[in-house]
Structure 1
Amino acid sequence: MPHRYDLLVIGDANPDVIVGPLTEPLAFDQREQLVDTGSLTLGGSAAIMACGAARLGLKVAFAGRVGDDDAGHYVRDTLAGHGVDTGALHLDPALPTPMTVVLTQYEDRAVLTSPGTLTTTSGADVPAGLIAAARHVHSASYFLQPRLAADLPDLFRTARSHGATTSLDTQDDPSGTWTGLDAVLAGTDILLPNAAEARRLAGPQARTPEEAAGLLAARGPLTVVKNGADGALCHDGRQLLSVPALPVRPKDTVGAGDSFDAGFVAATLDGLPLLEALRFAAACGALSTRAHGGTPAQPTRDEALSHLTRTGAPTS
């Protein structure tokens, strides 16, 4: 049976309030500090990835849970406005929509999140027919959604039984434990951490992103590591590949990794070789930094390919 969707994304969606950059330490005692920019935009690693994939031309569905409140309606309407099918985005009457404040400072940022419905999002929010209808299933923010994390191994196994591939971007672990992933990694085709996350996931023996990628790939998944100004790399259990960062003048790096994820999944579904997929994903991540927020500057496929051509990176 042909798949109705190229991609099903499962996970977090919330409004992001992004302010910054801070040029001095954050002050309390009711001090008011002025920053250059502030924006309200769609946030959540899964939601940003879904929008990026839709922008690249994929047919995308989203499954998750938000509150039945103004913030939840904003999330649903914004996803739909980006071309994402929100039929499986449930509106919870009991809990509020998650909210995130992102405070930027130079190339770094602090992230404050009120979990809301993240604590109740689970595999029950993902219709079985939707999993069967997707060529690829992606999930994000594993450590923020404990019920979904517990159900994700079964969801990924079901997806694979229908011929789909799977990917996971764990994002940060607020508890700092970075454990409990063995079952889900066994069903994950592509793991998409950033360099700091990769080292923590791999354990203390991983001194570099390259070592971390190799150790994680040995546990099963193709491991693709976003390495900031140093570009990106991947390890398939046999060889390590890397690409440099692409030149761009960033205004805001929020969501760049999620746009990278969208690019890598899109390129993989197109059947591109690993090195070309890595370059394409790097272009998608870089171009997403041209505006404030995770989604406003996400590139089309033609924009990403054109950027690769202008910067001299090989394309197929």
Structure 2
Amino acid sequence: MRDFDLVVIGDANPDVVAGPLSGPLAFGQREQLVAHAGLVLGGSAAIMACGAARLGLRVAFAGRVGADPAGVFVRDALAGRGVDVSFLVTDPELATPLTVVVTTEDGDRAILTAPGCLTATDAEDVPRELLAATRHVHAASFFLMPRLACSLAAVFARARALGATTSLDTNDDPAGRWDRGLLDPVLEVTDFLLPNAAEARALGLYPATGAGPYPRPPRGEGVSGDEVAAPPRQPPTVVIKDGGNGALALRGTRLLHAPAVPVEPVDTVGAGDSFDAGFVAATLRGLDLAPAMALAVACGSLSTRGHGGTAAQPTWDEARAATSDNSERGIH
């Protein structure tokens, strides 16, 4: 038996979340009042790790924090949620990353990140013994960690050789380049690619022309199964998070859709990361693609009930109950 079900590689930082704004963010030294603000654990990888631990997985985290109070906050927050931080490196020179999230009343958000030691995170922070001790390896925030991005294909290949499966959530590319030359070698050793609709479009998974089984979004941010385009490179199974529309994935030549679980969202920060946690947890428990998607959608939806990415993450039983309650909406 392996020591861990899941190793998560990536970003971990404090998030200062404030909002919602009723109008545009004002400059000119204007002060705007919002209903809520909080200091919470952030970072796509960290939120995903906490969600997976909440679902009952044995989770270890690999990455970096600084030798500063923010790093202590992150380490304590992860450990307090049941995540093993034995492999979380303390960088002696660079600061812990810090993110400020400003939310709006329509559910959108602006994200400002000082990357700090993320730029120094690399393959050496993910030792072979850790890869050998886990069933699955998940990486997040690919474009925020340039050194790790260049070596992640080797990390995933080693994990696979040691018997683990792999998944990747690239998250946004702040530079807007979406470098497929950098990403494609990683996709060759990735079992599950977990973008949201906007990221999938930016990664070129939706060419404007062509025929095939993968969905192409219409105008706007949503994804529609009514239009299709040529599939991306294999082998990843691509599961696309589409917010209030649920999720989409391909199985053979059949397009699967899992509808969202109806909730009144308080804060959507980290919902996609909770989705990732649910999908990986369901897959590791042996669920097939369709029920794994449904469970993941439930985890993402339920996580929006509280402020910050981790406060309202569901347990396995809560997610299963929500999936059952939503079953009449169907997966097709």
TM class by shorter-chain length? over 0.9
Which residue in 2 is equivalent to 1:135?
Answer: 135
Instruction: Quote the RMSD (CA, aligned, Å).
Output: 1.6
Shift of 1:3: 1.4
Which shows bigger deviation, 172-181 or 245-254? 172-181
* 3-state SS of paired residue (1:28): coil
Matches for 1:47-126 after TM superposition, within 5 Å? 47-105=46-104, 106-126=106-126
* 3-state SS of paired residue (1:219): coil
Matches for 1:1-316 after TM superposition, within 5 Å? 2-105=1-104, 106-179=106-179, 180-202=182-204, 205-206=207-208, 207-208=216-217, 209=223, 210=225, 215-216=231-232, 218-236=233-251, 238-313=253-328
Q: 1:202·1:212 contact (CA, 8 Å) conserved in 2? A: no
Q: 1:52·1:263 contact (CA, 8 Å) conserved in 2? A: yes
Q: CA offsets, 1:132-171, max 9 Å, x none?
A: 1010000000000000111100000000001100000000
Q: Distance in 1 between matches of 2:159 and 2:251?
A: 21
Shift of 1:307: 1.4
Runs of at least 4 residues off by over 4 Å: 210-214
Shift of 1:204: 6.2
Shift of 1:239: 2.8
Q: 1:213·1:223 contact (CA, 8 Å) conserved in 2? A: no
AA paired with 2:175?
A: S
AA paired with 2:43?
A: G
Q: CA offsets, 1:38-71, max 9 Å, x none?
A: 0110000000000000000000000000101000
AA paired with 1:69?
A: D
Q: Distance in 1 between matches of 2:81 and 2:248?
A: 29
* 3-state SS of paired residue (1:181): helix
Aligned residue pairs total 313
Q: 1:198·1:213 contact (CA, 8 Å) conserved in 2? A: no
Q: Distance in 2 between matches of 1:175 and 1:203?
A: 19
Shift of 1:219: 2.9
Q: 2:207·2:229 contact (CA, 8 Å) conserved in 1? A: no
Q: Provide the TM-score with structure 2 as the length reference.
A: 0.91
- Which ranges of structure 1 fall in alignment gaps of 5 or more residues? none
Query: Structure 1's 213 and 205: CA in aligned 2 closer, same or farther, altered over 3 A?
Result: closer
Q: CA offsets, 1:172-228, max 9 Å, x none?
A: 011111112110000000000000000111256154245688623x43200000001
Q: 2:64·2:121 contact (CA, 8 Å) conserved in 1? A: yes
Which shows bigger deviation, 170-179 or 234-243? 234-243
Q: Provide the TM-score with structure 1 as the length reference.
A: 0.96
Shift of 1:238: 3.5
- Which ranges of structure 2 fall in alignment gaps of 5 or more residues? 209-215, 218-222
What fraction of aligned residue pairs are identical, expressed as a percent? 62
Q: Distance in 2 between matches of 1:239 and 1:62?
A: 35
Q: Distance in 2 between matches of 1:212 and 1:36?
A: 42
